[in-house]
Chain A
């Protein structure tokens, strides 16, 4: 119970700060939108989205925008903690450390979900992708992918707080390790966007994402304590 309450308290603290300033939310959203726009300039030809491999392009752009803006949000969230030296204070608190990790993770997932709420309609609109035809499967894929990405990202961003080169190290470490998430997310979403939608394929990739989540959340809970001890 203490565990759950601590996690929710950390989450409430992060949400309260974010609601007051909205700094990370707005910058992340703007970045995600510009990401999609940049890809549009690469793929849209003669005023129309690409006809061949349209499903792959839409799914790929969506997931790349999620991953890139997620990295930005991770970096900013922990930079704020570092600047105020508040993470040190959090770790000094007489609370189970894995609970602090879970709280930060929930905050990240929430932030990325809000970004996805903007990204999904935008990609659906700009690339005429049928993202709303299977709302349950698409949101399950996005949620599982977000949890996997944020699970690894939160741990790495938290431990990089001590490193001098944290800005550049976060993407360097995060992208190679979360590539299975990107592959599964893109393949799964793209399977749903083809005509007719391949639900069996999407469910299989959802399984991959879920097992990734289970393994990496467990691993992060297990290593958070020794990794954050100086």
Chain B
């Protein structure tokens, strides 16, 4: 993993450096024009958030059933990163909504679910921070439930009628607007890479914290 870190950093930096050019060169959307460009960062941020959420949930399940401490470190790292990307999504969303829908906030299913997932993730971090001793296990349970719950929340967009562009906009982008696809794919890859990099850094930090704690304990004995 450590060998991969530097090349990954360079690739991610290059992608983010090129992203503005790619986005600027991508064609304008016929009705929303410039506003639609925020889509290139908004959707990838949510993709990164969902990836981090699932990493957190799966790592928590591994910790819960196998008792592996490394998995717990990955889970806490992914939890924090998911909150971060969720925040990017929650900030960029209303910026777009203000222009496209005329209001900052619209109570549609996708927005509500995004807010709810962010709440679950923050609750997860709160349990870890304020739960007291043994809260890792508690938090792992919350993350696992949160991950399963996210499917329920995400699916609700199909059960509820909404004003949010449907998920199918992204999946059918290849057919409806092939010219937009390269810039979008580039941003999506860049965000997922950034998420992976942050995750690696944060896991390393957690490992060092654990080592330091062990050293303190050894010193006291």
Contact = CB atoms under 8 A, between A and B. Distances in A.
Bound pair (A, B): yes
Interface of A: 152, 155-156, 159-160, 162-165, 169, 172-173, 176-177, 179-180, 183, 204, 208, 212, 215-216, 219, 223, 226-227, 230
A162 B134 contact: yes
A230 B137 CA distance: 9
Interface stretch (B77-85, B96-104, B141-149, B167-175): B141-149
B5 interface: no
Interface string B101-128: 0000000000000001001100100110
Interface string B62-84: 00110000000000000000000
B87 interface: no
Given A177-B149, A204-B159, A216-B148, A163 B132 contact: yes
Nearest to A171: B123
B132 A212 contact: no
Interface of A is mostly: helix
B74 to A, nearest CB: 17
B138 A172 contact: no
A169 B131 contact: yes
B211 interface: no
A177 B124 CA distance: 11
A176 B137 CA distance: 19
A152 B152 CA distance: 14
Given A183-B156, A227-B141, 4 more contacts: A162-B133, A169-B126, A223-B141, A227-B137
A177 B130 contact: no
B144 A163 contact: no
Nearest to A165: B130
11 contacts: A159-B138, A160-B138, A162-B138, A164-B130, A164-B132, A165-B131, A172-B123, A177-B120, A180-B153, A180-B156, A216-B148
A150 to B, nearest CB: 14
B135 interface: yes
Contacts of B131: 163-165, 169
Contacts of A179: 116, 153
A228 to B, nearest CB: 9
Contacts of B134: 162-163, 230
Contact of A219 (B116, B138, B145, B153): B145
B65 A226 contact: yes
A223 B147 CA distance: 14
Contacts of A227: 64, 137-138, 140-141
Nearest to B64: A226
A38 B127 CA distance: 30
Contacts of B65: 226
